[in-house]
Amino acid sequence: MGLLHDLVGASAEVLIPLAVGLGWLAAVAYARTVAAPMVLTLLAPAPLVFLLIFLVLSPVSKLVLPSGEVEVSEVAILDRPPIVVLVFDELSGLSLMDGNGRINRARYPNFARLAHSAAWYRNATTVADYTERAVPALLTGDEPVEGVAPVRRHRRRARRGRGARRRGPS
């Protein structure tokens, strides 16, 4: 529906029948033409090709493929502080709020209960526009470095090599 909405810019009352009609036309084309099944047969391996390209040739490969030894840090936790960080990536806080800037209790009772018993930073923003850069920046306090994977050993090298500094406690 997102693609149709972007192309047509209409409401759900128009988009749903339009999507059903396009689906029906595609089914008729598949049943009555020779070209449609042939095109779909040729495109069948496309998801596997895209997955292979994504996992092997993109920067994600540094995260999902083994690359030598893994460095482990020893951490001694003396107490168990009740700290939980929830990051709702791509969830607009405005969609949860009522007209007074509070969580809409009628529509989202569980979010309202969570906000009541927790610290909620309703105006929080991030330094990056993509999840793979925004979440590591949130967790480490380091600004993302272009072309560097959000993995500890890569980030340390980038910090030393580019003069980046760490903000907050180490």
Hunting for tokens 């526009």 — which residue is that?
129
What is the C-alpha to C-alpha distance for residues 140 and 133, in angstroms, rounded to an integer?
A: 11
HSE at residue 66, side-chain half, CA atoms within 13 A, is 3
What is the C-alpha to C-alpha distance for residues 150 and 59, in angstroms, rounded to an integer?
A: 10
Those residues of the chain that have pLDDT short of 70 are 1-8, 70, 152-170
Q: Are 141 and 159 in contact (CB under 8 A)?
A: no
Residue-wise pLDDT for 80-127, tens only, equals 777 888 888 778 888 888 888 888 999 999 989 988 888 888 777 788
Domain ranges of the chain: 1-45
